[in-house]
Structure 1
Amino acid sequence: MAQFLQVDRVFTGTEFLNNVTLKIEQGKITELGHDSVESAQKLNGLLVPGFIDVQVNGGGGAFFNAEQTPSCLHKIAHSHGQFGSTVVMPTLITDSIEVMNKAADAIAQAINDKVPGVLGVHFEGPHLSLPKKGTHSEKFIRGISEAEFAVYARQDLGLKMVTLAPENVSVNDIKRLVDCGVKVCLGHTNADFDTAMAALDAGADGFTHLFNAMSAFTSREPGVVGAALWHNTSWCGLIVDGHHVHPASAKLAISTKSKGKIMLVTDAMPPVGTDDTEFDFFDGRTVIRTGDRLNSSTGELAGSVLDMASAVRNTVNTLDISLDEALRMASTYPAEYLGLEKSKGKIDVGFDADFVLLDNNQNALATYVLGNNITE
């Protein structure tokens, strides 16, 4: 049965339209026009493409590293759905092979069960650089082996991402990952420019949380940051929470990098959507929330309590980016990165009915996944 929505204002991903009527059938947008339909549900606000977050460790009190179950994934996706995310990539940070296998099983089950918003998995580690490990547990950082390849080669995990340090993973192994259908991101790396560029030549196409936990740009050694900004066709995730990246650095990256290649990410942790002030972490540590900042009890930044609606708002208010471009950074560009550009990231005929209704301050009022309001 067809569903009709009549909206004050719509941002399609390319332009703003007024007084739009959407027809939705079987989770797809089948008509986009201006004719009034008496049975249409009326929405007051700005309807924009659903946000797509490729780095989500937790939310709603749930932490993927602590519980590898479909119910945990549902809780994470649902909590971020309250803030406009219609697709999340649940992210498992550096852990044991046993936990990686359990995480893969949970992802496969969630995809099979069609848990809203879960389309794949992001393994952030364990093949990282010790000097740039950040808050990751040193005892689990290791080289790549056949045990991990068996996980990465699975065909029931949907979209697959792996963040690695290219100085610790050979070019041949990066090529092998790409051949397994994995999107390889460079992160938590102390590599030099040439090593990073060799990894990109081998098929890596992304950088995890640009500037954070990677070798810096300097005059005689451009480092991983230099490779990220120089390389035209790769994508960069950017955490715009006011803590991970200085606004001037973020502005410089956006103005330098090829347009459409910087996407907003949250690197979100369990407290998102809750009032929780701390949670248990690796090695007997605690992650402590102070306002909108998270730090491990040993001092390092430990992800964020950022949601995508706030990331959009911060991008507009602190980086002087136009609203339409900030919205593309949260939806259109990550959709393109994940290869979903023909189904998600825009409001248009033939696209999935994934969108979020925003108020004038970019607060999420309602979120729809395949035409279903998941915030009711």
Structure 2
Amino acid sequence: MAFALVAEKLFEGEKILEDVPLVVGDDGRIASIGEDPQSSAPYLHGLLAPGLVDIQVNGGGGVLFNQEPTVEGLRTMAEAHARYGTTAFLPTLITDRLDVMQNAANAVSSALSQQVPGVVGIHFEGPHLSVPKKGTHEQSFIRPLSNEEWEIYERGDLGIKVVTLAPETVPVEDIHRLASLGVRVCLGHSNADGKTVHSALQAGAVGFTHLYNAMSPLHSREPGMVGSALICDKAWCGIIADGHHVSAEAITLALKAKPRGKLLLVTDAMSLVGSDALSFPLFDRVVTREGDKLTSSTGELAGSHLDMMGAVRNISDWCDLDIYESLRMASLYPSQFLGLQSGKIAPGARADFILLDRNLQVQKTWIGGHQVYGD
């Protein structure tokens, strides 16, 4: 249904407009900006900004994708993250059994056909990882790429496909084949040396999953995966700005090293985001939340309790970063990584946007012109 509004302030992706009318058409896209408003158009106090895009969401609203790989599970996750400004996301399946991967793929396919708001594809984080850098992934499920996984990755009904892998465990020929299928290959959970990383990038890998975390570090005579990620201007890097995974200084270094637009905010959110629960089972372990930190019963960090707007505020505060650049890191840049035509408020763009108050808290969220959160 078409509607109009007038925004006190509107960040269209590059610049700020004030007291600007906006019209959304019946097709869920922005019809016009700045034209004479309808007399009945509501005036929205605050900042209207592009919706946020998260490429790594393990769960939300009490649902972990691995444990509930269903359309209803995806709806719950989407609703939970819409409260924090996320209008597009990749449900992320961490290393698991083949049947769980198949169920997750089927759920995403159904969610896309049913146009579940926010779901745009799927991220398989594993199972082709390095055991020494497995993090909280279940070691018994880590395995080489087989014909059964190829059948999943070759599917054409999964929207945007991202696969995180350790390049020392997957031949460069297979990385090239994945890229030729349209899969966005990211490198992570890896102990690879710089030469191996370079070969993977040459074969078609385009990014790195949660920079610094679960990857071989930079040394004086060996760049490792961290150094290689910082050196490669073409590669995108996700980063978890929750105060536990990465220090403010490490984020500042990445901001200085990477070209503008190549560092992306991600949440790596687990099921507790948007939930009052304080713990959840993960395979044979229990993950417990203390404040905003999630720790497995075996001692390692287990994802995050971060939401996208929280990441925007954090990186702006900690790294003295302009709030509008922080917003781009959560909207425009991940949109560009995924090949989405979003991340901006412009005529013809899908009407995915959020209303923020003066404290940068989300008040309302729209996806495809439909308000999915807020009064």
Q: Same fold (TM over 0.5)?
A: yes
TM-aligned CA deviation for residue 34 of structure 1: 5.4
Structure 1 position 85 matched with structure 2 position 79: no
Q: Corresponding residue for 1:153? A: 154
1:17 corresponding residue in structure 2: 17
Distance in 2, matches of 1:233 and 1:17, equals 32
Equivalent in the alignment of 2:136: 135
TM-superposed deviation, 1:180: 1.4
Matched with 1:267 is 268
Residue 293 of structure 2 is aligned to residue 319 of structure 1: no
Match of 2:298 in 1: 298
What amino acid maps onto 2:7 in structure 1? V
User: For each residue in 1:194-218, what CA deviation from the matched residue of structure 2 results, as whole angstroms up to 9, or x when unmatched?
Assistant: 1001101111001000000000011
Give SS of 2:373's match: coil
**Does residue 1:351 correspond to 2:349, yes or no?**
yes
C-alpha distance after superposition, 1:54-101 (max 9, x if no partner): 000000000100011000001001100000000010000000111000
Is 1:168 paired with 2:166?
A: no
Query: How far is 1:35 from its partner?
Result: 2.8
* SS of corresponding position for 1:184: strand
SS in 1 for 2:19: strand
Q: Which amino acid aligns with 1:308?
A: M
1:158 Cα deviation after fit: 0.4
Aligned to 2:251, the other structure's residue is in SS state: helix
Does residue 5 in structure 1 map to residue 24 in structure 2? no
CA distance in 2, matches of 1:34, 1:180: 43
| Alpha carbons 1:19, 1:34 under 8 Å: kept | no
Instruction: Could you tell me which runs of 5 or more consecutive residues in structure 2 were left unpaired when the two chains were aligned.
Output: none
Distance 1:35 1:19 in 2: 11
| Counterpart AA for 1:8 | E
Name 1:237's counterpart in structure 2: 238
In the alignment, the residues of structure 2 paired with residue 137 and residue 319 of structure 1 have an alpha-carbon distance, to the nearest angstrom, of 34
Q: Give the letter for the 2:153 counterpart.
A: Y
Q: d(CA) in 2 for partners of 1:353 and 1:259?
A: 25
Letter in 2 for 1:220: R
Match of 1:362 in 2: 360
Q: For residues 250-265 of structure 1, what are the structure 2 equivalents within 5 Å?
A: 250-265=251-266
Letter in 2 for 1:292: D
Counterpart for residue 125 of structure 1 = 126
- 1:194 aligns to 2:195 (yes or no): yes
* Cα deviation 1:202-246 (Å, max 9, x = unaligned): 110010000000000111000001111111111000100000001
Alignment of 1:198-213 (within 5 A): 198-213=199-214
1:360 and 1:317 map into 2 onto residues whose CA distance is 15
Indicate if the aligned counterparts of 1:52 and 1:330 stay in contact, CA closer than 8 A: yes
**Residue identity in the other structure for 1:55:** Q
Give yes or no for contact 1:366–1:373 (8 Å, CA) kept in 2: yes
> Matched residue of 1:167: which SS?
coil
Q: Say if 2:66 is the partner of 1:65.
A: yes
- TM-score in terms of structure 1 length: 0.98
Q: CA deviation at 1:5?
A: 1.2
Counterpart Cα distance in 2 of 1:225 and 1:41: 48
AA of the residue aligned to 2:165? L
Q: What are the Cα deviations for residues 8-56 of structure 1, in whole angstroms up to 9, with x where unaligned?
A: 0011110011011111011101101053321212211101000000000
Aligned residue number for residue 179 of structure 1? 180
- Measured in 2, the distance between the counterparts of 1:20 and 1:137 equals 51
SS at match of 2:66: coil
Task: Trace 1:92-131 onto structure 2 (pairs within 5 A).
Answer: 92-131=93-132
Q: Distance in 1 between matches of 2:91 and 2:320?
A: 30
Percent of aligned positions that are identical: 53
Tell me which residue corresponds to 2:217.
216
SS in structure 1 of the partner of residue 55 of structure 2: strand
Per the alignment, in what secondary structure is the counterpart of residue 68 of structure 2?
coil
Post-superposition offset of 1:2: 2.8
The Cα RMSD (Å) is 0.8
User: Is 2:22–2:37's contact at 8 Å kept on the other side of the alignment?
Assistant: no
1:181-201 CA-to-partner distances (Å, cap 9, x unmatched) read: 100000000000110011011
Query: How many Å apart are 1:120 and its aligned residue?
Result: 0.2
Give the structure-2-normalised TM-score.
0.98
Given that residues 312 and 362 in structure 1 are in contact (C-alpha distance below 8 angstroms), is that contact kept between their aligned partners in structure 2? Answer: no
Aligned to 1:338: 338
| SS of alignment partner, residue 317 of structure 2 | helix
For the residues of structure 2 that align with 1:361 and 1:230, how far apart are their CA atoms? 35
Structure 1 contact 186–204 (Cα < 8 Å) conserved: yes
Aligned residues between the structures: 373
One-letter amino acid of the structure 2 residue matched with residue 353 of structure 1 = A
Local SS of the residue matching 1:197: helix
Q: 1:115 & 1:288 partners in 2: Cα distance?
A: 30
Does structure 2 conserve the Cα–Cα contact (< 8 Å) formed by 1:12 and 1:48?
yes
